[in-house]
Structure 1
């Protein structure tokens, strides 16, 4: 390896320690500063949605919005530069969130109001667990993610069954009540069935006939039973997961996190930690 390559690797390693790690003073300082910037940028987006604040301070909020967007864009580019496999980071969860947190501002040049989507930046606050060395929370998050992935097939089947159910129940209510009682179409009746089955009950449409009210009662009771199903599916999967403590290290190759305490290699890309 040439001296130039060695210097490049050393530069990338040091910058990686600052951007992706929180073990050093500068690494923690970088992450804390980043978290504060995220909070301020999300606050600015929220304030911009308030009419009288936008009327009085619209130009200032616009400048702040672009300032943070440029800052986060430079940060995103830096993250791509310091990892040896930038595409791995780009398509990771945090990589996609980092990208989506800057895209809305550029979209606002073509689509009015797109900047409101900048609140996606709030997802970046999840890094607080790593910054303050809350490895236990990272372990629990990994366990929950694994349980959700393991139960996704069951959840898809469950959602499919619920969809078929609301279609049938909505159609039945359309036939029973008809347009004179507000059930003017099957899609609108299905909307009522969804609202009723989920126990939300907006009250904008309600059955008036005895048969319709009886069916509505059964749907509401059924809704309470259905709510517990996805919770039970995920809980059952979580009970089978073994808790493995994880560290707060980030892979220098793909930026993956959540590695076991004694891990020497990344479980995502196989790179040495």
Structure 2
């Protein structure tokens, strides 16, 4: 009887895992749609609740709606944990942490009291905005963009260092040319002005008045337009290269499409269609 009970339990856990983690099945797609709708509703409630007129008038309704949504996410989180053989693989993963952050704010409010209770509750409830990150797991192109940004990291770091060097040099020059009389009271303040001007933000709190200073400011502003395009070009190139690498194997007769199947044992993803075992731990995908 015990063996039969374990078998039934295993079947239910696998069924739950299939619905929650895999989007290739009808049940999985339906669950994903429901979850996306709840996330969107939750985000709308957070934004509308911040409007004083609505937040005060419908305070009780907002609390009830938030409790319903929080309970839904709590059940989802628990099911995600219990449906995996190694729960820590999910709990300490990126999406596991995001799911936890989107679930606990309302519960944490129970532990705050005293004069600052209202402020603490309001701050904690704003953590619900992290639920928008839950959406990224359902956007197929998000992985490609994330990979492109990671690949561009070293190049962008070098570029930012070059921008910092230019800002220091130009900021120091502006301090020497303009001086405290024009608002450039120190080199750090001048560097701040240079960065603001270089990024085309232009707060207008500090402005050069001498002809030479205005000439240098003009050069900085022109450089700013070119600087904006550099990171975009770097990431775009990496994204395009990633697309080429992903599309090239499809011409190979031995190429096999990667699906959304998720290993119930180690939480690994990106398994090939028809794969019987996990490519990471060797756990059976068909049990």
Flag whether TM exceeds 0.5 (same fold). yes
CA contact (8 A) 2:167 2:191 kept: yes
Partner of 2:207: 206
Partner of 2:52: 51
SS of the residue corresponding to residue 248 of structure 1 reads: coil
CA contact (8 A) 1:42 1:118 kept: yes
Alignment partners' CA distance in 2, 1:262 and 1:218? 59
Alignment partners' CA distance in 2, 1:103 and 1:179? 51
- CA separation of 1:179 and 1:57: change in aligned 2, threshold 3 A: farther
Alignment partners' CA distance in 2, 1:205 and 1:59? 48
Partner of 1:220: 221
Unaligned runs of 5+ in 1: 130-137
Larger Rg belongs to: 2
Greater displacement, 67-76 / 260-269? 260-269
Aligned runs of 1:106-145 on 2, under 5 Å? 106-108=107-109, 110=112, 111=120, 112-129=122-139, 138=140, 140-145=141-146
1:251 equivalent to 2:263? Answer yes
Alignment partners' CA distance in 2, 1:25 and 1:56? 41
Alignment partners' CA distance in 2, 1:186 and 1:70? 54
CA contact (8 A) 1:89 1:256 kept: no
Alignment partners' CA distance in 2, 1:269 and 1:189? 56
Alignment partners' CA distance in 2, 1:268 and 1:191? 49
CA contact (8 A) 2:24 2:259 kept: no
Greater displacement, 257-266 / 234-243? 257-266
CA contact (8 A) 1:177 1:207 kept: yes
Unaligned runs of 5+ in 2: 113-119, 248-256
Using the size of structure 2 for normalisation, the TM-score is 0.80
CA contact (8 A) 1:80 1:90 kept: yes
Alignment partners' CA distance in 1, 2:274 and 2:177? 64
Partner of 1:81: 82
Partner of 1:196: 197
- CA separation of 1:54 and 1:251: change in aligned 2, threshold 3 A: same
RMSD: 2.6
The number of residues matched between the two structures is 264
Using the size of structure 1 for normalisation, the TM-score is 0.83
Partner of 1:177: 178
Using the TM superposition, give the Cα deviation of residue 269 of structure 1 relative to its aligned residue in structure 2, in angstroms.
Answer: 5.3
Using the TM superposition, give the Cα deviation of residue 8 of structure 1 relative to its aligned residue in structure 2, in angstroms.
Answer: 2.4
